[in-house]
Amino acid sequence: MGFKNINIGTKEGVSNVVGTALLSSPRINREQMKNIQTNISTALVVDDDIINRKIHRKLLDNLGIESETVTNGKEAVDVHCTGKNFDLILMDLEMPIMNGIEATKKLREMGIHSMIAGVSTRSLEEEKQEFMDAGLNDFKEKPLTVAKLASILHKFCEDDLEPVTD
Amino acid sequence: MDRNHPHRQLALMRQSFFDQGYLDEQFIQLEELQDDANPNFVEEVVTSYYRDSARLILNIEQALEKKPLDFNKLDGYMHQFKGSSSSIGAEKVKAECTQFREYCRAGNGEGCIRTFQQLKKEYTTLKKKLEAYFQLARQAGPSETACRPK
C-alpha cells in the first residue's frame, strides 16, 4: 500500500484525505516519507543534546528541508541577529545559558514570525502551557518522529503560515 | 543458503532486542531514517550516544560520591541521560533512568545508588549487543531491511 503525493504542508494537503489518514498513523515509513511534500524549506534545530540534533536534522533532511543546528537558546537568538531566518524552528525546552521559553519569548519580541515548534520531554500540562504561552505555534513530546514532524508541517499549513525563505 | 544465513541471523538478533525489551519503537524510527545517503545512520547515532553519555555517567558517579547528595543536580543529569536514551529507543536503560529520578524526588540516596548500578549494567549490556549487531551487519553486507516486529 503506498501513498502518493501527500501534500501535508500545502493548502491542498489540509483537505487531502490520504494525508489525514497518514497523520493519524503512529509510524510513517521510509517509502511514505519520500512522498511527503512541504513548502517549508529551511529549519533551525535548537537543542543541547547531540543525539537529538543529529536525529532532528536527519528527519528534516529526509523531508528535503535544509537545516542548521545550535546548542542553546542564546545561539538561536544570535543566529537570527546575523539576519538569518528560518521557516521552522524546532525548540528544545531545557538548555543551558538560555532555555526554550526565554529564547522563544526573545525571538517573538524581535519580530520573528517563523513557526516555532517546542520539542521537549517535559509533559506536565503547566510546563507545556508555559512553553506555549512564550509564543510557540505547536508542541511535541520527545522523541520526535516522522509522524510528529509531519503533524508540525500540517499545522504550518493549517495556521496559514508562509515560508520566510524563498 | 549460506548467503542468506548472516542476514537471517541479523534479523533474529534484531528481533530479540525488541522481544526482550532492550529496544523500543524509537529504534525502528531511527532505522526508517537510514537511507542510501546515510547507510550507517543508526550506528552513527548509537555511537554518538555511547560517546556522549560516558560523560554524563562520570558526572553522575562523581555526584553520587558527594555528601550530602545533591538530588536536584542528580535529577538534572538523569533527565538528560533519560532524554538521550529515549531518543535511541534504549527501553531498559530508560526505565532505570525513570526509577532513579523517582528516588531523587523521594530523597532516597540508597535507592539512587542501587538503581544507578542496575542502570550501568543495562547500559553496558545494550552496548555489547548493539556492537555485535552492527559488526554482524557489516559482515552480512547490504540487504533489504529486516522484518519489523508485528
What are the tens digits of pLDDT across the range A36-90? 777 889 999 999 999 999 999 999 999 999 999 999 999 999 999 999 999 999 9
Q: Does A127 touch chain B (CB under 8 A)?
A: no
Cβ-proximal residues to A55 (8 Å cutoff; 6+ apart), any chain: A143, A144, B30, B33, B45, B87
SS3 of residue A40 by DSSP: coil
The sign one gets for the Cα dihedral B130, B136, B140, B146 is negative
Where are chain B's structural domains? 5-139
Q: What is the count of residue pairs from A and B with beta carbons less than 8 Å apart?
A: 59
Task: Give Dmax over CA atoms of chain B in angstroms.
Answer: 61
For chain A, what percent of residues have pLDDT higher than 90?
58
Query: B109 CA to chain A: closest CA distance, Å?
Result: 24
| Position A163 confidence tier, pLDDT thresholds 50, 70, 90 | confident
Q: Looking at chain A from residue 17 to 76, which residues have their Cβ under 8 Å from any Cβ of chain B?
A: 26-30, 33, 49-52, 54-55, 58-59, 61-62
Where are chain A's structural domains? 27-158
Distance separating alpha carbons of residues B46 and A2, to the nearest angstrom: 30
Instruction: Tell me which CATH homologous superfamily contains domain A27-158.
Output: Response regulator (3.40.50.2300)
Amino acid A5: pLDDT: 42
Cβ-proximal residues to A83 (8 Å cutoff; 6+ apart), any chain: none
Q: Which residue in B12, B33, B6 sits closest to B87, CA to CA?
A: B33
* CATH code, residues B5-139: 1.20.120.160
Residue A6: which H helix or E strand, with range? strand A6-9
Tell me the pairing of strands A66-70 and A88-92: unpaired
Amino acid B4: pLDDT: 62
Query: B110 CA to chain A: closest CA distance, Å?
Result: 26
pTM of the model: 0.86
Residue pLDDT, tens place only, B77-99: 999 999 999 999 999 999 999 99
Whether ipTM tops 0.85, in short, is: yes
Please state whether the peptide bond connecting residue A143 to the residue before it is cis, i.e. omega within 30 degrees of 0: yes
SS3 of residue A68 by DSSP: strand
Instruction: Indicate the residue type of A149.
Output: L
Distance separating alpha carbons of residues B100 and B121, to the nearest angstrom: 14
Q: Decide if pLDDT at B64 tops 90.
A: yes
Average pLDDT, integer, range B39-55: 96
Q: Which residue in A101, A95, A79 sits closest to A47, CA to CA?
A: A95
Q: For A28-61, b where at least 16 C-beta lie within 10 A, e where not — what string?
A: bbeebbebbbbbbebbbbbbbbbbbbbbbbbbbb
Contact A138, A115 (CB under 8 A): yes
Distance separating alpha carbons of residues B21 and B2, to the nearest angstrom: 30
Distance separating alpha carbons of residues A74 and A99, to the nearest angstrom: 8
Residue pLDDT, tens place only, A103-157: 999 999 999 999 999 999 877 888 899 999 999 999 999 889 999 999 998 888 7
Residue pLDDT, tens place only, A82-95: 999 999 999 999 99
